[in-house]
Structure 1
Amino acid sequence: MGTFKHHIAKWNELSGEGKAIFLKATVSLVLIKTGLTILPFGTFRKLFHWLCDTKSVGEISQERIDLTVWAVDTAANLLPLELLCLPRALATKYLLRKVPALTLEIGIEVNPAKQFEAHAWVEKNGTVIMGNWPQSVLYQRIWVWN
Structure 2
Amino acid sequence: MKNLSKPKASFTRFIKLSWYQKFLLGKAFIVLAVYKCLLFIFPFNFFFKKSINLVSSPVAPDEQNLVVIVWAISVVSNRIPLGFTCLVQALAAKWLLRKYPDVHICIGVHKSASQAFSAHAWVVYKNKVILGEQETQVFQPILEWN
The TM-score with structure 1 as length reference comes to 0.85
Deviations 1:53-101 (A, max 9, x none): 3132543333322221121111122323111111111111111110131
Give 1:88's aligned residue: 89
- Secondary structure of 1:117's partner? strand
Letter in 1 for 2:142: I
Instruction: Determine what percentage of the aligned residue pairs are the same residue.
Output: 33
Of stretches 56-65 and 82-91 in structure 1, the one that deviates more from structure 2 is 56-65
Give 1:33's aligned residue: 36
Letter in 2 for 1:137: Q
In terms of Rg, which structure is larger? 2
Q: How does 1:95-114 map to 2 (within 5 A)?
A: 95-114=96-115
Distance 1:110 1:123 in 2: 22
Distance 1:22 1:52 in 2: 23
Distance 2:80 2:86 in 1: 14
CA contact (8 A) 2:123 2:130 kept: yes
Gaps of 5+ in 2: none
Letter in 2 for 1:33: K
List structure 1 runs of 4+ shifted beyond 6 angstroms.
none
CA contact (8 A) 1:58 1:99 kept: no
Q: How does 1:72-87 map to 2 (within 5 A)?
A: 72-87=73-88
**Closer, same or farther in 2 for the Cα pair 1:83/1:56, shift >3 Å?**
same
CA contact (8 A) 2:36 2:84 kept: yes
Q: How many residues align?
A: 143
Gaps of 5+ in 1: none
Letter in 1 for 2:42: L
**Residue 41 of structure 2 is aligned to residue 20 of structure 1:** no
Letter in 1 for 2:23: A
Letter in 2 for 1:100: P
- Secondary structure of 2:117's partner? coil
Give 2:133's aligned residue: 132
RMSD of aligned residue pairs (Cα, Å):
1.9
The TM-score with structure 2 as length reference comes to 0.85
Correspondent of 1:9 among 9, 12, 15: 12
CA contact (8 A) 2:52 2:98 kept: no
Letter in 1 for 2:104: T
